[in-house]
Structure 1
Amino acid sequence: MSVPAWVERAVFYQIFPDRFRRAGKPALPAPTGHFESWDSLPTVRGFKGGDLWGVAEKLDYLEQAGFSAIYLNPIFASSANHRYHTSDYLRVDPILGGDEALRNLLDQAHERGMRVILDGVFNHSGRGFFAFSHLLENGPASPYQDWYYVKGFPLRAYGGKPNYEAWWDNPELPKLRVETPQVREYLLHVAEHWIRFGADGWRLDVPEEIKDMSFWQEFRRRVKESNPEAYIVGEIWHEAPDWVQPGGPFDAVMNYPLGRGVLGFVGGERLDRELAARSGLGRLPELDGAGWLEWTGRVLESYPEEVRKVQLNLLGSHDTPRLITMLGGEAERAALALELLFTLPGAPSVYYGDEIGLPGGHDPDNRRTFPWNEEAWNHDIKSRVGKMARLREQYGELRGADWKKVWSEARRAAFSRGRLLVTVNASEEPWKLDLDCPNAGDMRGLLYGGRLSCAEGRWRGAELPAFSLEVWRPEGG
């Protein structure tokens, strides 16, 4: 099993298109009404009017902030602002600018060496999808009965419990019958179409809900034939090595377990565990330094070395509360959590706005618009994320699969990435470093510029501020 080489170097930025940037260039048919005010809090049904033209306008911002790849939440025609209610898989939503806006974004991103992956929602469609609409209008006379799991007619698509299988019994999301050959072929055609259009991969929504592994195997084959370097990553919230082992369908999965460990370690007593527990993150662990090293090692070792390097590592997403809100509003903790993400094997993924401290609770509050007024930004978080992105690009050890625990005490820990040493202080007090130096060499700090001198078998001579980390390299190396 070969994984795309480019992912190992990638730093992903997840964008919820309706909320990132409004350029105001919709495709035909253009909406005639007004969007919600950009600065107002989001609502469940409301549209803010963000579009793909706007994403392209801000590629300079993304590059300067250290991001080299974009993961877009769904962009296909839909009746919902989040666009998981797909009505046309072969057309970019006109409100987002249509196919022309995606073409422009892909071309501009590729000119900069940036990649763009799309969100594939293949377990269910929206009620506006042509096959379901046909079935709704024609009942048992429709030739599309086998496209869905119908239990009776007329369909109860509005009001009451649906009489067809739907995602979480939500009548807006009828479940597609993937075992039907025509449905299967349609979805595989969609997968190929957008890769050939120029997308660099797929993030796959709730893939476990499609129980037929042969579908995903064929999905992989068709996508890789279209572009061998396409990245296929599944949204699976638990450890899922079977999906990425040799012969498995995906290159990687969204590594929520790794992020849960970081939150449990950095968050400490300020972590809002009740808030997190009401999302897919569940009850987050309470970890000291030793517990975090143990947790991280277990998660990493559950995957093959080749996969570890390309896992999509994240702390939060459109399905979780915002990072800074989960951490009690403490920017130092949020910055440290993001820094840690850049020091672990795998590709870091930052949810838009987390790099500037954008707050938010549960959906829809976690999908606020990006504030383009820089006075609203936390520049310290942004600066620390940018430094880590540059450091990760400069030092290949931070992109490799090698990770070893070195030391822990209370809320402090140290681990190695090849020849590099990473020291983490997740406590409120400064840490005067005093560690075993088995290689008997002095070290230089790559972030703060301090020095660790090795004498009498101990590294000493530097102090690490509260809620910070340092990456050390051997002097002269």
Structure 2
Amino acid sequence: MSVPGWVQDAIFYHIFPDRFYNGDPDNDPPNVQPWGSPPTSWGFQGGDLRGILYKFDYLLDLGINAIYLNPIFQATSTHRYNTTDYYKIDPKLGSKDDFNALLEHAHRNQVRIILDGVFNHCGRGFFAFNDILENQEHSPYREWFHIKHFPVNAYSWGETTDYTGWWGMKSLPKFNTQNPKVRKYLMDVARYWIEQGVDGWRLDVPNEINDDSFWADFRQVVKADNPEAYIVGEIWEADSRWVGQGHFDGLMDYPVMKALVGLFASNTHEVALFAEKVERLLSYYPHENAFAMYVPLGSHDTERLLTRLGNNLDKTRLAFLFQFAYPGAPAIYYGDEIGLTGGKDPGCRGAFPWEELNWNSELRDYIKSLVSLRKQHPALRRGDYVRVENISNPTCYAFIRKTFEDQVLVIMNASATEQTVHIITYEIGWEEGRRLTDLIHPSMHTIITNHTIEVTLPAWEGVWLA
């Protein structure tokens, strides 16, 4: 099973559309909240597709080359996971012309866009479910969902006893994907947007459609139109099943995110345990899929990175240093690069503060340099991952990314105090007397002496040596 070659070189930027930028106030819904209001699960703030287009130079300056958009199809909520029309751009985000303009501008600048596909469930306003509400047992769509009994009441309080909703939610009726008509409808949706030029799908809760044949059909439909389309699944635990049988190219690598944040947040310095987790996670998947994982440090479903790390900027920088050296496609959740904070949903979905005085510009410049260096060094994108065993300090972690032409040694101090590290170079293969430079801080050098690399690192600091 081949995966798109471009994913290894991708640097994603994840946008929650309602909170990025309001480029067209004319499409704002009634009672739109002021930009920057405390985020709520129900209050729109007016972000839209034209806003992304207007701020595209910001994204290009950061250096990203791929965008993942949370749902953009017609829906009634800010998150839009309750789709009512899969073929229509939500008018609160703009028009199909606005989407086409964004997609064309992105492609003109060699930036790819993947969409959020919600195929397990829909909103109550979806035409087929609405027909059931109107016609009850006489509806021709009664087999499109998991109806337990009639009458169906989608707006009564309490659990969904009359039909199945995702996590019991009445607002999210679950599709009956065993129904051939439902399956055809969803496959047609997937095909349509690929035909429109989108570069792939991020699949919401695909494990809820626990049917290998459905996802095999989905892959066949998508790849038939664009073999280079990227299919990535939201699977929260490590599970090779989802990439091993013709399903997805990669998964959202939440396990490595949780391991990294856990290491930094706990202050237990269990570096060896973390290193073993990383190796185990990489070993779960075939090589090409491991290198096609979508690697986040946060998302619309988690606390923001800086918040999870106790507002510690040193830990935050080190987390990004690891992310951009790790196999897979690193993903920046909008605003994390400027130090945006926020707790769990809806706190993690705050509006982007466009006044630069509200940015942590130092953090943004640091991440921008990591983006640039990853682009410059093939080893950081496509190189094999090799853990360094001969390291003297148990609070430090080191690994190599290497190709035939390029090698980068990553060393991290995962402790709250300064640490000196000695690494024997035999397993690396670097010659005696070689002068190494930290790619991130080019004024820092070290020379291999007695087949040993010696580096002193401040607390929560790391280097990329080459």
Q: Does 1:132 align with 2:134?
A: no
Partner Cα distance (1:371, 1:100) in 2: 27
**148, 160, 169: which is aligned to 1:151?**
148
Residue pair 2:318, 2:461 contacting (<8 A) in 1 also: yes
Q: Percent identity?
A: 44
- Aligned counterparts, 1:50-61, within 5 A: 50-61=47-58
Partner Cα distance (2:20, 2:64) in 1: 15
- Aligned counterparts, 1:143-182, within 5 A: 143-158=140-155, 159-162=157-160, 163-182=162-181
**SS of residue in 2 equivalent to 1:244:** helix
1:89 offset after TM fit, Å? Answer: 0.3
Q: Does 1:412 align with 2:396?
A: yes
| 4+ aligned runs moved over 6 Å, structure 1 | none
**SS of residue in 2 equivalent to 1:104:** helix
Partner Cα distance (1:253, 1:213) in 2: 16
Residue pair 1:127, 1:172 contacting (<8 A) in 2 also: yes
What does residue 222 of structure 2 align with? Answer: 223
Q: CA RMSD in A?
A: 1.4
Partner Cα distance (1:84, 1:321) in 2: 19
1:31 offset after TM fit, Å? Answer: 5.2
What does residue 14 of structure 2 align with? Answer: 14
Partner Cα distance (1:242, 1:152) in 2: 34
**SS of residue in 2 equivalent to 1:96:** coil
1:287 offset after TM fit, Å? Answer: 5.2
Residue pair 2:269, 2:415 contacting (<8 A) in 1 also: no
What does residue 416 of structure 2 align with? Answer: 428
Residue pair 2:417, 2:458 contacting (<8 A) in 1 also: yes
The aligned amino acid for 2:22 is R
Alignment gaps of 5+ in structure 1: 270-285
Which deviates more, 291-300 or 116-125?
291-300
What does residue 84 of structure 2 align with? Answer: 87
What TM-score do the two structures reach when normalised by structure 2?
0.94
Alignment gaps of 5+ in structure 2: none
What does residue 379 of structure 1 align with? Answer: 361
What does residue 447 of structure 2 align with? Answer: 453
Residues 85-116 of structure 1, C-alpha deviations (whole Å, 9 max, x = no match): 00000001011012111101100000000000
Residues 227-251 of structure 1, C-alpha deviations (whole Å, 9 max, x = no match): 1110000000011211112x42110
Alpha-carbon distance change, 412 to 186 in structure 1, aligned in 2, over 3 angstroms: same
**SS of residue in 2 equivalent to 1:172:** coil
**SS of residue in 2 equivalent to 1:164:** coil
Partner Cα distance (1:54, 1:198) in 2: 20
Partner Cα distance (1:41, 1:144) in 2: 40
1:411 offset after TM fit, Å? Answer: 2.5
1:267 offset after TM fit, Å? Answer: 2.5
**SS of residue in 2 equivalent to 1:403:** strand
The aligned amino acid for 1:92 is I
Residue pair 1:323, 1:334 contacting (<8 A) in 2 also: yes
Partner Cα distance (1:467, 1:384) in 2: 15
Alpha-carbon distance change, 302 to 102 in structure 1, aligned in 2, over 3 angstroms: same
- Aligned counterparts, 1:21-420, within 5 A: 21-24=21-24, 30=27, 33-158=30-155, 159-162=157-160, 163-245=162-244, 247-269=245-267, 288-407=270-389, 408=391, 409-418=393-402, 419-420=407-408
1:401 offset after TM fit, Å? Answer: 5.0
Residues 320-362 of structure 1, C-alpha deviations (whole Å, 9 max, x = no match): 1111111011111112111210000000011111111111011
Partner Cα distance (2:276, 2:158) in 1: 47
Partner Cα distance (1:467, 1:383) in 2: 18
Partner Cα distance (2:159, 2:417) in 1: 55
